[in-house]
A and B are shown apart, each in its own frame.
Chain A
């Protein structure tokens, strides 16, 4: 049976089956082809209105969503918390009621609070694509990561994926663990114990390693995560230097991985902290392509949710 997407929310990937995900990847492939044309626009969503509701700031992700919507010819309105009524104390509920009255068809939400996409859907009755909710989920990032691997490797089944860094605060990791497991990848997460959530192995289908060499052993895909400076003041690690000494992705440490291992990073990168330029800019790095694929994946989701025809 053909997967149904019309009107669906994208809160996280647990609601999406392996077949659903593969279908989205195929759709994204078609969208990527459009993005490579000279005239990068199709009329599919003409007359639909998409709102990027960014209660937490993120220029890159918002641009990616807006570009995706524009290329499908949807009308796009952008709501940014820093310059809006939320700043003046308006509740999310009232904000959504107001936006809804203007006839929004789809919301793309970025918010610091886990579970807020569910609230926006509850208040609006419209589908919501989660563009990141606190530490909870970032399904479009996970889909673009999966797409990027799928495009290069053809299939995720049996691939060893190692994700290194601040696992505790990462929504990217959480969504990737769900999505990648559905496609049969074997994921290892690695970072210092103070940046590892409790009970990881009983919540997700994954392996936890605290030692980078062990974690990278035989990996087909290696993903670095941004190490945030603020975690030092929270008493979670002593210094970027010491972190780097033990967890940086370098040509030294990557010798444990497969020689052709793909190098990924959701950005923004701290060069010299979690990844060295030799790796970030190296032959196997697909970090820049991930960004391009992000637009394609978001186009695919908007298209599938709003058009419902299932044809690219």
Chain B
């Protein structure tokens, strides 16, 4: 089976080039100004761009356990619609993905029903309770790409040190969701002007920063690879800068929402602005953008966190934390940051492709002859309106509901097979 994509700009080595691309079977076979081969399938991209399939190293697929919010089929469909071809599933499922059988369940389901590749992240501690180390070495032999108690944070520094040392032993990256529970308290949004005005209790930036400081020190001592999930404050970025300056194996990611929204968005009590870490203030947002441009931030990750309407449609402080992210990730960042010339298109694309691949040592992320044909075709001149009807995730909890954002995903290919096609 051969597919030729014509009339397209191909993203090669950071630049868009008007070329044609041929997929033969699962792989990219040719990239040339003009391809003369006969194809089974000819796609006229209409001048759209061909990017490497996006890679999301931080997503919640809710399967098993909370499949009314999302499952592996709907989650990977939603990912494909957002241009993602590889996603990493966080282990806060029910039961927690803290053992080899649970890992295999997700892999099997993804193989049967997945519109995107699913890599599994195993739990750092058993049941993610922060009490005992999980069987991470066994899970690694089963294919996990990292360990994390995401959504939770190991409060006990002694256990965290032990986890980091054990993970280092088996060369497993540790992803942290940095949050000191006592400092965060029952906080709902960032602690600052908006929490003062709305009366919603605040989560101080310190809750994130003190754990990052602690875990950098512990990881250094343990010789472990530490990845900081969804970094959100200016001071936290300084801590990462210092760690990198010292040559430590510390990386970090930022979410699309922390790059384009601040806690001002919480003024109307929209529960789709409620997530952890909370939306911070403008100073923090600008620091995140600068760090993305400087390369201090290693990649963008969505923290796709589906919740059902009945869970989000309630009092702000009773609603769960989190928003969905696959389908809007490229669109919101292209619309708000690239079109407005805050960041380069290549910064956005690289942080969704080869850079996240590098963080967790995943394949893909570049368009190369011979590589698996994981691609997405995006029309930058079109736009997409995100409605409850057309969002493919089972959940619709996004702050950009009913908004129209620049760019539209036309096709997504996984191993040469069309996993998403715009109608």
On A, residues with C-beta under 8 Å from B are 91-93, 111-116, 118-119, 133-137, 171, 174, 197-200, 202-203
Task: Please tell me if the beta carbons of B202 and A114 are within 8 angstroms of each other in the complex.
Answer: no
Note all chain A residues with C-beta closer than 8 A to B195.
197-198
Task: Please tell me if the beta carbons of B310 and A114 are within 8 angstroms of each other in the complex.
Answer: no
CA distance A113 to B319 in the complex (A): 11
CA distance A203 to B196 in the complex (A): 7
**8 other A-B residue contacts (CB within 8 Å) besides A115-B316, A135-B199:** A93-B313, A113-B318, A114-B199, A115-B200, A118-B269, A119-B314, A136-B200, A203-B197
Note all chain A residues with C-beta closer than 8 A to B193.
198-199, 202-203
B198 in complex: contacting residue of A93, A112, A119, A136, CB < 8 Å: A136
Task: Please tell me if the beta carbons of A92 and B199 are within 8 angstroms of each other in the complex.
Answer: no
Task: Please tell me if the beta carbons of B315 and A116 are within 8 angstroms of each other in the complex.
Answer: yes
CA distance A93 to B313 in the complex (A): 8
Note all chain A residues with C-beta closer than 8 A to B199.
114, 133-137, 171, 174
Residue of B nearest to A167 (CB): B196
B314 in complex: contacting residue of A92, A112, A200, A203, CB < 8 Å: A92
Output the residue of A92, A114, A171, A203 with the most chain B CB within 10 A.
Answer: A114
Note all chain B residues with C-beta closer than 8 A to A133.
199
Note all chain B residues with C-beta closer than 8 A to A199.
192-193, 196
On B, residues with C-beta under 8 Å from A are 191-193, 195-202, 268-269, 310, 313-318
CA distance A111 to B199 in the complex (A): 13
CA distance A92 to B318 in the complex (A): 11
Note all chain A residues with C-beta closer than 8 A to B197.
174, 203
Task: Please tell me if the beta carbons of B314 and A115 are within 8 angstroms of each other in the complex.
Answer: no
Note all chain A residues with C-beta closer than 8 A to B316.
113-116
CA distance A119 to B319 in the complex (A): 13
Task: Please tell me if the beta carbons of A93 and B202 are within 8 angstroms of each other in the complex.
Answer: no
Pick 19 A–B contacts, CB within 8 A, sort by A: A91-B310, A91-B314, A111-B315, A112-B317, A114-B198, A114-B269, A115-B198, A115-B269, A115-B316, A118-B268, A118-B269, A119-B269, A133-B199, A136-B199, A137-B199, A171-B199, A198-B191, A198-B192, A198-B193
Note all chain B residues with C-beta closer than 8 A to A92.
314-315
Output the residue of A92, A112, A113, A119 with the most chain B CB within 10 A.
Answer: A113
Residue of A nearest to B182 (CB): A235
Q: Smallest Cβ distance from B223 to chain A, in angstroms?
A: 37
Task: Please tell me if the beta carbons of B198 and A198 are within 8 angstroms of each other in the complex.
Answer: no
Task: Please tell me if the beta carbons of B192 and A134 are within 8 angstroms of each other in the complex.
Answer: no
Q: Smallest Cβ distance from B270 to chain A, in angstroms?
A: 9
Output the residue of A93, A111, A134 with the most chain B CB within 10 A.
Answer: A134
Output the residue of A93, A137, A197, A202 with the most chain B CB within 10 A.
Answer: A197
Instruction: Give the 5 A-B CB pairs with smallest separation, nearest first.
Output: A115-B269, A135-B199, A136-B199, A113-B315, A197-B196
CA distance A91 to B318 in the complex (A): 10
CA distance A113 to B318 in the complex (A): 8
Residue of B nearest to A199 (CB): B193
Note all chain B residues with C-beta closer than 8 A to A198.
191-193, 195-196, 202
Note all chain A residues with C-beta closer than 8 A to B196.
197-200, 203
CA distance A113 to B314 in the complex (A): 10
Note all chain B residues with C-beta closer than 8 A to A115.
198, 200, 268-269, 315-316
Residue of A nearest to B281 (CB): A199
Note all chain A residues with C-beta closer than 8 A to B191.
198
Note all chain B residues with C-beta closer than 8 A to A200.
196
Residue of B nearest to A200 (CB): B196
User: Given contacts A197-B195, A198-B192, are A135 and B201 in contact (CB under 8 A)?
Assistant: yes
Output the residue of B192, B193, B199 with the most chain A CB within 10 A.
Answer: B199
Residue of A nearest to B266 (CB): A115
Task: Please tell me if the beta carbons of B317 and A114 are within 8 angstroms of each other in the complex.
Answer: yes
CA distance A137 to B200 in the complex (A): 11
Note all chain A residues with C-beta closer than 8 A to B198.
114-115, 136
Residue of A nearest to B313 (CB): A93
Note all chain B residues with C-beta closer than 8 A to A116.
315-316
CA distance A92 to B313 in the complex (A): 9
Note all chain B residues with C-beta closer than 8 A to A119.
269, 314-315
Note all chain B residues with C-beta closer than 8 A to A197.
195-196
Q: Smallest Cβ distance from B203 to chain A, in angstroms?
A: 12
Note all chain A residues with C-beta closer than 8 A to B201.
135
CA distance A114 to B188 in the complex (A): 11
Q: Smallest Cβ distance from A203 to chain B, in angstroms?
A: 5
CA distance A92 to B314 in the complex (A): 7
Residue of A nearest to B315 (CB): A113
Note all chain B residues with C-beta closer than 8 A to A137.
199
Residue of B nearest to A111 (CB): B315
Note all chain B residues with C-beta closer than 8 A to A134.
199-200, 317
CA distance A156 to B198 in the complex (A): 25
Note all chain B residues with C-beta closer than 8 A to A202.
193
Q: Smallest Cβ distance from B271 to chain A, in angstroms?
A: 9
CA distance A21 to B315 in the complex (A): 28
Q: Smallest Cβ distance from A96 to chain B, in angstroms?
A: 11
Task: Please tell me if the beta carbons of A113 and B317 are within 8 angstroms of each other in the complex.
Answer: yes
Q: Smallest Cβ distance from A184 to chain B, in angstroms?
A: 21
Q: Smallest Cβ distance from A205 to chain B, in angstroms?
A: 13
Q: Smallest Cβ distance from B50 to chain A, in angstroms?
A: 43
CA distance A197 to B318 in the complex (A): 22
Output the residue of B192, B195, B197, B314 with the most chain A CB within 10 A.
Answer: B197
CA distance A137 to B196 in the complex (A): 11
Residue of A nearest to B191 (CB): A198
Q: Smallest Cβ distance from B396 to chain A, in angstroms?
A: 16
